[in-house]
Amino acid sequence: MLNTKRDVLFLDGDCGLCHGLAFFMDDRLAIDSDISYRPIQSAEVQDIISNFTDRQQKADTVYLVRANKVYIRSSAAIRCLLYLKWYWKLWYPILWLIPLPLRDTIYRMIAMSRHQIFKKPESCSFRID
């Protein structure tokens, strides 16, 4: 089972954008950040997702479990900024001002075309710990 003391980002292991996000974050993490990454396709993560609300289970998106609370889509993506160095965290309140329906619409548009834009990785290679 998942270590609930640590925040976890569930990402698509077959997506170049998701891989890019994990590597981008890894290189810019704040010293006090405590986050790990897991591929959504893993049995462990699927078991965890099965305990989420029906709405969250059907979301088919990136998931961030932060302090035992689940965030999806743009809410998860924007909260990823909170793990980064201070100058990246400055973007969080600015992006949060964008209304959720608009943020999620933009998120969905990017998600629909991510496989065409970003090269599929040969294997899931983001850091898992």
Taking only the tens place, the pLDDT of each residue in 37-53 is 999 988 999 999 999 99
Instruction: Identify the pLDDT of residue 87.
Output: 96
Specify the pTM. Answer: 0.86
Domain boundaries along the sequence of the chain: 7-117
> What pLDDT score does 8 carry?
94
Q: Is the CB of residue 8 less than 8 Å from the CB of residue 65?
A: yes
Task: Give the model's pLDDT for residue 17.
Answer: 79
Cα angle 107, 78, 68; round to 5: 110
Cβ atoms within 10 A of the Cβ of 32, count? 6
